[in-house]
Amino acid sequence: APTLINTIGSGGVLRIGTLAGAAGLSVFINGSGNTNVTTAMTANTGTLTKSGTGTLTISGPAGYAGTNTHGAVTVNGGTLTLDFTGITAPTNLLQQSAGLTLGAASAGGVSGGTLTIKAAASGATTQTLTTLALAAGQDNITMIAGGTSNTLTFSGAITATNAGSTALITAPATTSVSVATALNTAATTGRNLVFFDGTSYNWATNTGTGTAFIANSNAASAAAVKYATLLLTAGTDTANSQITASGTTSLSGARITNSLMINTSGAGGTLALGANMLTLTQGGLLFTDSTDYFITGTSATNGLKSATATNSDVVINNYGTGLLNIQAPIIQGTGTSTLTLGGTGTTVLGNSAVLTTVGTYTGITYINSGTVVLATGIVGLGASNTALTQNGGTFDLNGNNVVIGAFNGGPAAVIDNNPTASTVASLTIGAGNGTGTFNGTIKDTNGALSIIKAGTGAITLGDAVTGGSNLFTGDLRFTGASTLTLNSLADSVGSKVDFNVTGAIL
């Protein structure tokens, strides 16, 4: 497929009048620059893929009449903006028979895409698509009000990848997003998808097939899901549970529930698991509080666990302004269990008095957005040599010496060492012969960070397009016969590369 790579910076925009191609032609738009298509898009049956960190804006003249043609649309990086502001009859800047995928994996670890729809200044703005697929990464659909209404309708189903996917639907007053999938039972909510109505964050739900997303706690009819207070005794329920009480809430036995939402209205508190297991059937935890909250545990084998099928995924969506402190381990569930973190808030993981890693899960740790901080004394994520895929956000090592296996990240990912008191730290990558490409930023804000390449797998820091930003000031060391490719390196590191074992390749 033809590829347009736009790396224009400093506020520059590449403007394209007409984007046209032969039948079946696929167009791939990549890069960090912003691109505008202002007249027509006629790729016929071919696909349109938006990658990279920039923004692709599709607009049209005042007389545009919904005539753009193309196949399936994929946004696996950056933002696709549909700008109806100058259109008199604002309908379908994307072909309504097209499906939309957000967050499909692409080269270099870029994953997680945003669709933004700007309404026209007057009248009703409408965009119809078929299916919505939410793949790995922090995916977003953002509706911007204007005119009398702004409506996005998916005539087909919505699906979400269990592992690695977090998504936020933002639809304030006079805007709406509707899907054919019914999300009005607990079994269909409580993991990947969060809804923001301009005021509060909740699990996304609707009142049945073809209806608009609404906030779970503000359910408008009996057909919609509502929260239930978390039961604390041993047993199983199918509710989307919530904690609103301040102080300490203590489990007295193992509890299985569909999902958990925490908001104490600024009072803060603690959920004390003790030696008990809290299993989330759908795997989702949503935190929206303005004050710090703690989830504690005293067992290395019981803590938070997901019961999603095949490969269990614990998904933490943090949209709070207070800290979410998870001091109970994330426990291995079915298959190759994973941990996914998204949202805008800060999550602190681990309790070295219980376990020196974040948990016992064996799959990948996905950091999609927000800030993730390792508690003092934590040296790993899940079980030995587990992998990290960082699609965005900040991962703060917090003065720890951390070991991970496969290592992947996109341009929006930041790894930092930023403890309260200046402390040197190290990050060992490639343990267990893990491989990968990290295109984000590695830095040390408060204490030198050393990068140690272990194992025989090949790892690249910064690809040829994005470059990455390797700004750490500690050593770059090798512990075995390894291959490490650097496409950028801070000047302060240049004289400190230390090959510990003959046979390494830099």
Residue type, 272: A
Q: What is the mean pLDDT of each run of 10 residues along the chain (506 residues)?
A: 56 61 59 72 71 85 81 88 93 92 69 93 96 92 97 94 88 96 88 94 92 79 86 97 96 98 95 98 97 98 93 95 98 94 98 96 96 97 92 96 94 93 94 91 92 90 60 72 68 47 51
Pairing label, strands 114-118, 137-144: parallel
Same domain, 491 and 382: yes
Same domain, 59 and 172: yes
CA distance 416 to 473: 11
- Residue 196 and residue 154 in contact, taking contact as beta carbons nearer than 8 Å: no
- Residue 100 and residue 133 in contact, taking contact as beta carbons nearer than 8 Å: yes
Same domain, 77 and 152: yes
The pLDDT value recorded for residue 490 is 56
Residue type, 181: T
Q: Is residue 188 part of a domain?
A: no
Same domain, 392 and 296: yes
CA distance 389 to 407: 6
Q: Tokens 């008191």 belong to which residue?
A: 421
Q: Is residue 237 part of a domain?
A: no
The number of distinct structural domains making up the chain is: 2
The pLDDT value recorded for residue 341 is 97
Q: Tokens representing 328?
A: 């109970």
Backbone angles phi, psi at 499, to 5 degrees: -90, 115
10 Å Cβ neighbour count for 209? Answer: 13
Same domain, 351 and 458: yes
Q: Is residue 125 part of a domain?
A: yes
Beta strands in 299-423 (DSSP E): 304-306, 313-318, 324-327, 338-343, 346-349, 365-367, 371-374, 388-390, 394-396, 401-403, 407-409, 414-416
Identify the domain boundary among 129, 161, 181: 181
- Residue 452 and residue 478 in contact, taking contact as beta carbons nearer than 8 Å: yes
Task: Tell me, letter by letter, the H, E, C secondary structure of 254-283.
Answer: CEEECEEEECCCCCCEEEECCCCCEEECCC
Identify the domain boundary among 149, 164, 181: 181
CA distance 19 to 23: 13
Same domain, 424 and 325: yes
CA proximity to 277, closest of 328, 337, 350: 328
Same domain, 250 and 165: no
Q: How many degrees, rounded to 5, is the angle at CA 137 between CA 34 and CA 383? A: 145
Identify the domain boundary among 159, 181, 203: 181
Q: Tokens representing 442?
A: 């590695």
Beta strands in 21-54 (DSSP E): 27-30, 34-42, 48-50
Which residue range(s) make up the domain with 274?
244-499
Same domain, 172 and 270: no
Same domain, 334 and 460: yes
Q: Tokens 């703690």 belong to which residue?
A: 294
Q: Is residue 22 part of a domain?
A: yes
Q: Is residue 221 part of a domain?
A: no
Same domain, 19 and 93: yes
Q: Is residue 378 part of a domain?
A: yes
Longest dimension (CA), the chain: 70
The pLDDT value recorded for residue 500 is 47
Same domain, 252 and 176: no
What is the DSSP code string of 409-464?
A: E-TT-EEE---SS---EEEEE-GGG--EEE-SEE--SSS-EEEEE-SSSEEEES-T
The pLDDT value recorded for residue 370 is 97
Q: Is residue 448 part of a domain?
A: yes
Q: Tokens 């269909």 belong to which residue?
A: 188
Same domain, 321 and 400: yes
Which long-range contacts does 458-461 make (Cβ < 8 Å, 24+ apart)? 458/482, 458/483, 458/484, 458/485, 459/407, 459/429, 459/430, 459/434, 459/435, 459/483, 459/484, 459/485, 460/436, 460/484, 460/485, 460/486, 460/487, 461/437, 461/485, 461/486, 461/487, 461/488
Enumerate helices (H) and strands (E) in the chain, giving the number of each.
0, 51
Q: Is residue 256 part of a domain?
A: yes
